[in-house]
Amino acid sequence: MSNQNSISATLLKRIAEAVDGTRTGEDVYVVASDVFPHDVAGVYPALDAATAAMKKNDDRRVHGPYTTTRDTGTAVAFAPFCHDPYSNSCPFTRPDPAWKLDDVTDLTVTATHRNGKKWSASFSPAKEKVDALSFTLAAADKFYIPYIAKVAGAKHAARIRDEMAAYASTAT
C-alpha cells in the first residue's frame, strides 16, 4: 500500500480513472508507477493480488484501498446506440423505455459471412462487465484505445492495439 502521505495530482488522476473504471462498490487496489505518465499495472480486488502484481513491476506501488459506488439501477441502462458522426440513428429499435443493465441477463451478437457461415457470441453485460463492442479496428482506434491509454498507460494500450491489429490481419 502507498506509504506516502501525499501523491502527485497526475498520479491521483490516473488512480481515480482506474478506480472509476471498476465501479464495483467494493474496495480495490491500484498498482501504478509514481513516475509520470504513471503506468497502471492493474486494479485488483484483493491486496495480495495487487502485491503480487507489484512484485512483477518493480517501478510500481500498491495504492489503496479505494472504493467507488457500484453502478446500479437506472444510472446504468441498457440503451443501445449506434455511432454515426452526424446523428444517433440506428438500423434497429431500442427497448422503450430503456432497461436497467442489471436486468439484462443475456446479450447475443450474431454475424453472418457472405458465404453463409455464422459467428455468435452470447454474454451477460452486467456479469461480464461488457458495456461496449467495437466491430472495426478504426472504431477501436477512435474510442477504445485512447481510453485504455488514459487509464492503463500508453504501453498497455499499444500492446492491446497490436493484438487487435494482428487478429484483424487474419481476415480472409
DSSP state at residue 172? -
Position 46 scores a pLDDT of 92
pLDDT in tens, 62-107: 999 998 777 665 556 777 777 776 676 778 888 888 888 778 889 9
* Stated pTM of the model: 0.60
Q: 21: exposed, middle or buried (C-beta count within 10 Å: 0-12, 13-18, 19+)?
A: middle
CB 66 within 8 A of CB 92: no
How far, in Å, CA of 26 to CA of 31, rounded?
16
Cis peptide before 97 (omega within 30 of 0): yes
Domains in the chain: boundaries: 9-67, 77-130, 132-172
Position 29 scores a pLDDT of 94
Check residues 20 and 61 and name the one with the higher pLDDT. Answer: 61
Cβ neighbors of 98 (< 8 A, separation 6 or more) are 77, 78, 79
